[in-house]
Amino acid sequence: MRKTKTWQGSSKRHKNTAFFLFVFLGMLSAFGPFVTDMYLPSLPAMASYFTTGPSMVQLGLTFSMLGLAAGQIIFGPLSDKYGRRAPLLVSMALYLLATLACIWSPTIKIFVCLRFIQGIAAAGGIVISRSIATDKFKGKNLTKALAIIAAINGMAPIAAPVIGGSILQVSTWKGIFAVLFVLGIILTGACLYFNESLSKTKRSRVPLIKTLGLFKTVLRKRKYVFCVLQLAFAMAILFSYIAASPFIIQEHYGYSAFAFSLLFAINAVALGVGTTMPVRFKQPEHCISLSCLGMLLFSVLTALALWLQTPLAVFEILLIALLFTTGMSFTATTALAMEEAREQAGTASALIGAAGFLLGSFVSPIVGLGNILIATGLTLMACALGAGICWILALRSAQPAGLPQGSPAA
């Protein structure tokens, strides 16, 4: 990698420093956690506000994840064709409009629909942040860059529920969305300052109507596909926890919304530390293998803790271990998958995020079916088992089907 303190963009007016880009990319990738996590402490209160049950309120979380999945499918190929900056600005404008509309939602059904649009808009930042990193780094340096971004991103699930819980002390759930709107304005300003990272010569020349064909090209790479599926199951563990934890902590264990936000922050630290671990391994494959073993072990123990209704301390310790080992997969598997499909970075990044959020949207309402303690435990174990199976298949995969691959970038 060329060593430099600044990266020259297309603009002649200024240079984006490495510090700005790392913070900027971290903010973009953190958009998803803020959209999903910040209002978690208010879920029980929102059920009362809209006079509905927990399952209907959880649909707001489910539809935001569906939006995050769909949005990445849209913005990924667009960023390969039109560059990174223009699609980012479009996504931010849509996000600001959707967030304002959420605040004035008259019914839970309208709110759920608006959350879907909000998720689509927020997806632009998530998918394009990975693409920008891939534009600038290769090989182990890409792993390091993604680890730094993930560490910054790890602050989002720490800060989001704490901020949300604090806002609930002086306001309602609408105050949380007002803060989300302000954050969107700040990030829009950063997007305007950002210099384009994908030169015109490297952009896709495929006509817009045929951009979906890029997905066919990426899906021919078998190792990439199994890495994406492994990561999706790991993300599903996180989303199962996100959907169930407000009700488990506040209703089963009897803690307040603010206390829940503090516990959520502690767990997010464990997840964030886990995302930085791949840089300590010579090969990302070793880190992913250890992560899969850890997820399987601690998902079983966490499920037992829920079913036996152990004290909160026992459940919390096991949950920290589960989230730590889950976080280990996030950076390592993402780097490995992006290396496998470097030539279509935007599209590859879109599928990575879309698969995770799509599976997450599926498991989120499942944890609320019947007894939430039993359903959550079963879901965690199923997702961990799925991650392990997909990783075994990834290791056994030969070179991607289709045209022979060139040597991986060093």
What's the pLDDT score for residue 408? 39
Both tokens of 186, joined, read 């700040």
User: Is position 10 within any domain?
Assistant: no
Phi, psi of 340 (to 5 degrees): -70, -25
Boundaries of domain holding 372: 16-198+208-396
262 vs 87: CA distance, rounded Å: 35
Location of structure tokens 């075994």: 392
Residue 253 makes CB contacts below 8 A (sequence gap 6+) with 312
User: Is position 137 within any domain?
Assistant: yes
Closest by CA to 181, choosing from 35, 20, 24, is 35
What's the pLDDT score for residue 295? 96
Give 10-residue mean pLDDT values along the chain (410 residues): 43 64 79 80 85 80 85 82 87 94 92 93 83 73 69 67 84 90 91 80 73 76 91 91 85 84 84 84 88 96 94 94 92 84 75 82 80 92 96 77 40
User: Is position 58 within any domain?
Assistant: yes
User: Is position 410 within any domain?
Assistant: no
What is the sign, positive or negative, of the torsion defined by CA atoms of 92, 112, 230, 374? Answer: positive
Q: What is the pTM of this model?
A: 0.70
Phi, psi of 144 (to 5 degrees): -65, -40
What's the pLDDT score for residue 100? 94
Q: At what angle do helices 139-170 and 312-340 cross, to 10 degrees?
A: 140
What's the pLDDT score for residue 260? 84
Count of structural domains within the chain: 1
User: Is position 8 within any domain?
Assistant: no
Collapsing DSSP states into helix, strand and coil, what is residue 106? coil
Residue type, 384: A
Residue 396 makes CB contacts below 8 A (sequence gap 6+) with none
What's the pLDDT score for residue 381? 96
Phi, psi of 171 (to 5 degrees): -145, -165
Q: What is the CATH number of the domain that holds 315?
A: 1.20.1250.20
Residue type, 231: L
User: Is position 317 within any domain?
Assistant: yes
Residue 323 makes CB contacts below 8 A (sequence gap 6+) with 238, 241, 267, 268, 270, 271, 274
What's the pLDDT score for residue 152? 66
What's the pLDDT score for residue 150? 65
C-alpha distances in angstroms, 69 versus 124, 153, 187, 389?
A: 10, 18, 21, 23
93 vs 300: CA distance, rounded Å: 43
Q: Cα angle at 338 between 332 and 343, to 5 degrees? A: 165
User: Is position 333 within any domain?
Assistant: yes
What's the pLDDT score for residue 140? 67
